[in-house]
Copies of this chain bind each other. A is one copy, B any other.
Amino acid sequence: MNPEPQLAVERLHARYVHALDADQLEDWPNFFTENGAYRIATAENEARGLPLPILYAEGRAMLRDRVQSLRHANIYEPQRYRHLMSSVLLEKLDDHHVRSVCNFLVVRIMENGEAMLFASGRYVDRIVLSREPLYEERVVICDSRRFDTLLAIPL
């Protein structure tokens, strides 16, 4: 595979991560195609083929709704996220689409300064290589099934 798709996809992933970590949630739907799907699942459920995502949203409109309800929800304790990502592995699907798998780790920082390992797992994506690549599907597969209510914020 020539370098261009690799770097273009890594750039998409980087922009996504920085938007979330900077709390620019309103930008989040724009990383998806108009009908793009977003799903959070656990490794356990994926391995068993259980179609029960922790969260599912399809289409930018639904993703925007999600952000809006987050903005209006009472998150009692302010927190910040920091995403680390690595090992982006691409597979060509056709001339305009790739499948991307990469690992992630998210640190959560509470307002008192306490930091903890919040989540780890992998992103499994179907990406359209338009001028600015976009997610047609982003599946977040978390290693642990332990989640608290704060999971409401996109990973």
Contacts and interface: CB of A to CB of B under 8 A. Distances in A.
Interface of A: 3-4, 6-7, 11, 13-15, 17-18, 21, 43, 80, 82-89, 101-105, 107, 109, 113-117, 120-122, 143-146
A15 B82 CA distance: 22
A117 B88 CA distance: 21
A107 B89 contact: no
Contacts of A21: 103, 122
A120 B113 contact: no
Contacts of A80: 43, 143
Given A107-B105, A115-B120, A85 B87 contact: yes
Contact of A18 (B15, B89, B105, B145): B89
A2 to B, nearest CB: 9
Contacts of A15: 89
Contacts of A6: 7, 11
Contacts of A105: 82, 84, 105, 107
19 contacts: A3-B7, A14-B86, A14-B87, A17-B86, A17-B87, A18-B103, A82-B103, A82-B120, A82-B143, A84-B103, A85-B86, A85-B87, A86-B86, A107-B120, A107-B143, A109-B144, A113-B146, A115-B120, A115-B143
Nearest to A105: B84
